[in-house]
């Protein structure tokens, strides 16, 4: 199974909204609502932002939201802030009860 | 408080077998629903899910790496062990263990493994 497909980079100005897509197949993203999104700053472990497609863990800003349509999941970051500059990864359960990660998206705040 | 910490060699030679240990606290892997996963990340590259072991000893492996991986647990020691055979320089990276289930998401700090002769 190949990694989920994410854009390599997305950028935006402070205050803007950006969307990061994550495309898989019927065997993973399209088949399950177990989609997670992670934020990773350099030298640190990933931090969970979204689970089960659109659920936010306690303590995560409501500027982060998730959705899914067919085989593509999306992460929206609203009101972009300098601290949002990081790498973002999607992850999905698969039909083999394993997990796949996306190739990662580097977010740049202009 | 849930914590996980990875340990193992920082340097291995090509063709050798890597053994990594995840020592955790704050939960028991014998409790129903508990699970521990291994994920790795080559320098400057994406995360890659490797394997998972569940409380009932069910084991799941990355399709692309399953012939090289073995995951096991020692409940009495609160440890999960991952072995990866036939190491290659492309296996260089940071290896994380994590407890992941929905919002229940805890990661270790990661351990850097370099494969070089």
Q: Which residue of B has its CA nearest to A97?
A: B60
Per residue in B19-69, pLDDT (tens digit) is 999 999 999 999 999 999 999 999 999 999 999 999 999 999 999 999 999
Q: Which of A57-61, A77-81, B38-42, B98-102 is predicted least confidently?
A: B98-102
pLDDT given at position B102 = 86
Residues of A in contact with B105 (CB under 8 A): 36, 48, 51, 57
Contact present, B49 and A93 (Cβ < 8 Å): no
Helix (H) or strand (E) holding A40: strand A35-40
For residue A32, the SS3 value is coil
Contact present, A32 and A85 (Cβ < 8 Å): no
For B27, half-sphere exposure in the C-beta direction (CA atoms, 13 angstrom radius) is: 22
- Give me the mean pLDDT over the A47-68 stretch: 97
The closest CB to that of B109, out of A36, A45, A58, belongs to A45
DSSP 8-state class, residue B111 = E
pLDDT given at position A2 = 83
B40 touches chain A (CB under 8 A): no
Q: B93 — alpha (psi -120 to 50), left (phi > 0) or beta?
A: left
Determine the distance in angstroms separating the CA of B16 from the nearest CA of chain A, rounded to an integer. Answer: 26
* pLDDT tops 90 at residue B116: yes
B49 touches chain A (CB under 8 A): yes
pLDDT given at position B65 = 96
A57 touches chain B (CB under 8 A): yes
B54 touches chain A (CB under 8 A): no
- Report the side by side order of strands in the sheet with A18-23: A18-23, A72-77, A64-69
* pLDDT tops 90 at residue A1: no
pLDDT given at position A83 = 97
pLDDT given at position A15 = 97
Question: Which of B46, B99, B101 to mutate to test binding with chain A, by most A CBs within 10 Å of its CB?
Answer: B46
pLDDT given at position B26 = 94
Determine the distance in angstroms separating the CA of A40 from the nearest CA of chain B, rounded to an integer. Answer: 10
Q: How many whole angstroms separate alpha carbon A49 and alpha carbon A107?
A: 15
Would strands A18-23 and B48-54 be described as parallel, antiparallel, or unpaired? unpaired
Degrees, nearest 5: CA angle A106-B43-A12: 10
- Give me the mean pLDDT over the A4-22 stretch: 98
């Amino acid at each position: 199974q190949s990694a989920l497909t994410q854009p390599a980079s997305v950028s935006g100005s402070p205050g803007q909204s950006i969307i990061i897509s994550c495309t898989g197949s019927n065997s993973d993203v399209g088949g399950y609502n177990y989609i997670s999104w992670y934020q990773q700053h350099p030298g640190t472990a990933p931090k969970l932002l979204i689970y089960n497609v659109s659920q936010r863990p306690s303590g995560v800003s409501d500027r982060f939201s998730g959705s899914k349509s067919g085989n593509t999941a999306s992460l929206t970051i609203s009101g972009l802030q300098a601290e949002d500059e990081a790498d973002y990864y999607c992850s999905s359960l698969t039909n083999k009860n394993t997990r796949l990660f996306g190739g990662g998206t580097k977010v740049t705040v202009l | 408080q849930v914590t996980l910490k990875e340990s193992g060699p920082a340097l291995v030679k090509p063709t050798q077998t890597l053994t990594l240990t995840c020592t955790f606290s704050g939960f028991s892997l014998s409790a129903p629903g508990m699970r521990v996963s291994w994920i790795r990340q080559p320098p400057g590259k994406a995360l890659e899910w490797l394997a998972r072991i569940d409380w009932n000893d069910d084991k799941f492996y990355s399709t692309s790496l399953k012939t090289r991986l073995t995951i096991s647990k020692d409940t009495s020691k609160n440890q999960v062990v991952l072995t990866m055979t036939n190491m290659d320089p492309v296996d260089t990276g940071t290896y994380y263990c994590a407890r992941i289930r929905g919002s229940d998401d805890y990661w270790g700090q990661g351990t850097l493994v370099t494969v070089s002769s």
